[in-house]
Each structure stands twice: as C-alpha cells, then as structure tokens.
Structure 1
Amino acid sequence: MAQKAAKQQAARNTAILKRTHLISLAITVFFLLLRLLVFWASCTRATYLLYAFLSAPAFAIEFWFERIGRPVTAPSGELKKPGEDLEAKGLTDFMWDILYWTWGCTISATILGDKAWWGYVVVPLYSVWLAWTTFGGMRKGMAGMAGKDAVADTSNGAMSNRQKKQEKRGGQKMQYR
C-alpha cells in the first residue's frame, strides 16, 4: 500500500500518454493516406510542408508530455518517480487545448483541403484575448490598492450611491461574528 497515490498517478499518466500517441498516430496516418490515395491530384509539396510546420507544435507538446509525464521505474520494478500530473490546470491544460485544436485542424485539412489550416489562427488570437483580459482584470484589481480617493476618482470624480452612503457613515466598517 506504500505510495498508492504515486502508483495511481503513474498508471494514469501511462494510460494518457498511450492514448495520446495512438490518436496522434491515427490522425497522421489518416492525413497521409487520404492525401496520397484520395486527394492526390490537389496535393503538392507545400501541402506536406504546411502539415509538418503546423503540426510541429502538437509534436513538441506531445514530446514534452512524454518527457514530464512518463513514470520512471528502477530496474527492480520499483517506482522511482510517477511523473508530473498531465491533468493539471493552468499551462498543462492550455497545452492540451493546443494539441486538440491541432488535431481538429489536421482532420479538417485532410477532408476540406489546405484552406482549413487557417483555423489554426484561432490559437494565437485566443492567447492574445486571454492575456488582454487577464491584464485588464489585474489592472482593475490594482486600482483598489491606490486608496479610497483614487477609486473615487476613476470615473471623473463621480461617486456611486453606494460610495456616497459609505462616505456618510465614515467609510467601510468591519463586522466580526
């Protein structure tokens, strides 16, 4: 029963990595077979270069997941390191989104043609939007740290009714329970 959580993490990571590699292999084979056998007339060298270039982030992310998530065992079979959690929130979650989006664009480009690769532009646009909203929220949060006068002055000196009532009462008061 020792290291039960670590063993579960290792088993979960192994299953996730196996599934990810199989899906990636299936999508790549699907792309190559359909493009070579069915849509061979519309394929050029640029098609394959575009595939390689736009699939590179997915392959890099897959390699990274393999590197950080693969469990390490000793020659005796004992678990040395279970690997990082591949279901973690934050950057790992964002990397999964990029991987899924790349797979979707690859399938779309396989069936619809090279113009479907333009769907990949959504990823950088989403990143810019996410950064902008995060910065905007942080900026609003920092405005409250400037003090009561700065908060009241943010909207050209006009105070809300709530702020006026609080000002009359002598500001905010803490209630202890």
Structure 2
Amino acid sequence: MAGAAQKKQAQHNVQALKEIHIISIVVNLLSLLSLFLLGRPSNWKPYFVFSIPGWACEYAVERLGRPKYREDRGYQVLTTAGEDLRQAGLTEYMFDIFYLTAASNILMCLFGSNKVWWILLLVPIYAIYKLVGLWMKFRGSSARPSADTPLEEPKSKRQQKREARGNRPRYR
C-alpha cells in the first residue's frame, strides 16, 4: 500500500505528463497545419528531424514518471509512483529540451522559416558549458598548492603529543 507522499508524487506526475502531452499535441498540430496547409516553410524535413529530440524527451519522461497501478478487489492500488518529475538534474534537462523544441516549432509557424531550428544549438552549448564547469571544479580540487601557501596546517600541542605517544604500545 502506498503512503501519502507516493500518492502525492503520483498525482503530480500525472498532472505534469498531461500538461506536456497537451502542449505536444497542440504545438505539433499547429506545425503540421502550417507546413501542409499554408506551405510555410516550404521544406518539411527539418521539422521532422529537429522534432525528434523533443519527442524522445517526451517519451523518456513518460516512461520515467508514469505511475503504475494494479487491480486489487476492484480498486486501483498504486504500486509505483514513478520517478519524481520535479527533481533537478537529467529530468529537468529533458523538460528544457522538450520546451525548447516546442518553442522552435511555434517560431517556425510564426516566421515561416526553418532558420529557427538554430535555436536548438543552445542544448549542446549549454551541455558543454556545464561539462567545462564540472571539469574545472575537479581540475581545481586536484591542483597542487602554490609556493606561498603552507604545505601543512600547524599542529596543536595535543596532536603533537598524540603523535609522540603513537609509537608506544598501550597497556590496559
């Protein structure tokens, strides 16, 4: 039986999934109408190619966050609440990619140009920025101390006494 926290998380996940599916349906229908009825832009291939990351992220979020239920004596019983879709990290980045793809679709409809897909270059640029920051953090922590910083902290008298007694065996 699921606790209140799991039920709340499952409820939030269902709401978040419903929102992204509605956004996806509306934006993709508008894009398809713009492409095939209005003929703007004239080439439809970039729409399908550059929409793949958004669709992949939507699918991944669906698989991660959808709660699972089982039937027990005529009632739906929550078995797993799914991953928390409010968590930071990779889930958050998947939502960002989805929203960026949807925004690119809307801008494609408004401007009638495939040049708006250059906006999706923000994703790898941001990933490189985060990786460089991570690399600099690890590189900075393993760096050797400079000449003007002392190599060791000065030891207290208590530490010096303990080290001096450290070689002698203890008797009880």
Whether these two folds match at TM > 0.5 is yes
Using CA pairs under 8 Å that are at least 6 residues apart, name the structure with larger relative contact order, 1 or 2: 2
Query: Corresponding residue for 1:146?
Result: none
Query: Corresponding residue for 1:14?
Result: 14
Conservation of the 8 A alpha-carbon contact between 2:61 and 2:94: no
Gaps of 5+ in 1: 144-149
Larger Rg: 2
Percent of aligned pairs with the same amino acid:
32
Query: Corresponding residue for 1:151?
Result: 145
1:37/1:73 Cα in 2 relative to 1: closer, same or farther (>3 Å)? same
Query: Corresponding residue for 2:106?
Result: 107
Distance 1:50 1:151 in 2: 52
Query: Corresponding residue for 1:49?
Result: 45
Distance 1:65 1:139 in 2: 33
**Structure 1 runs of 4+ with >4 Å offset:** none
Distance 2:25 2:34 in 1: 14
Aligned residue for 1:136, secondary structure, equals: helix
Query: Corresponding residue for 1:91?
Result: 90
Gaps of 5+ in 2: 157-172
Q: What is the deviation of 1:2?
A: 5.7
User: TM-score if structure 2 supplies the norm length?
Assistant: 0.80
Q: What is the deviation of 1:172?
A: 5.3
Distance 2:79 2:58 in 1: 22
Distance 1:31 1:15 in 2: 24
User: TM-score if structure 1 supplies the norm length?
Assistant: 0.77
Q: What is the deviation of 1:43?
A: 3.7
1:32/1:18 Cα in 2 relative to 1: closer, same or farther (>3 Å)? same
Aligned residue for 1:83, secondary structure, equals: coil
Q: What is the deviation of 1:173?
A: 6.3
**Structure that is richer in helix per residue:** 1
- Cα shift readout 1:106-150 (whole Å, capped 9, x = no counterpart): 11122121111111111111111111111011110122xxxxxx3
Aligned residue for 2:145, secondary structure, equals: helix
1:4/1:125 Cα in 2 relative to 1: closer, same or farther (>3 Å)? same
Aligned residue for 2:79, secondary structure, equals: strand
Q: CA RMSD in A?
A: 2.0
Is 2:116 aligned against 1:120?
no
Distance 1:87 1:20 in 2: 13
Q: What is the deviation of 1:171?
A: 3.6
Q: What is the deviation of 1:49?
A: 1.7
Distance 2:132 2:34 in 1: 40
Is 2:72 aligned against 1:73?
no
Distance 1:43 1:109 in 2: 8
Conservation of the 8 A alpha-carbon contact between 2:41 and 2:114: no
Query: Corresponding residue for 2:58?
Result: 62
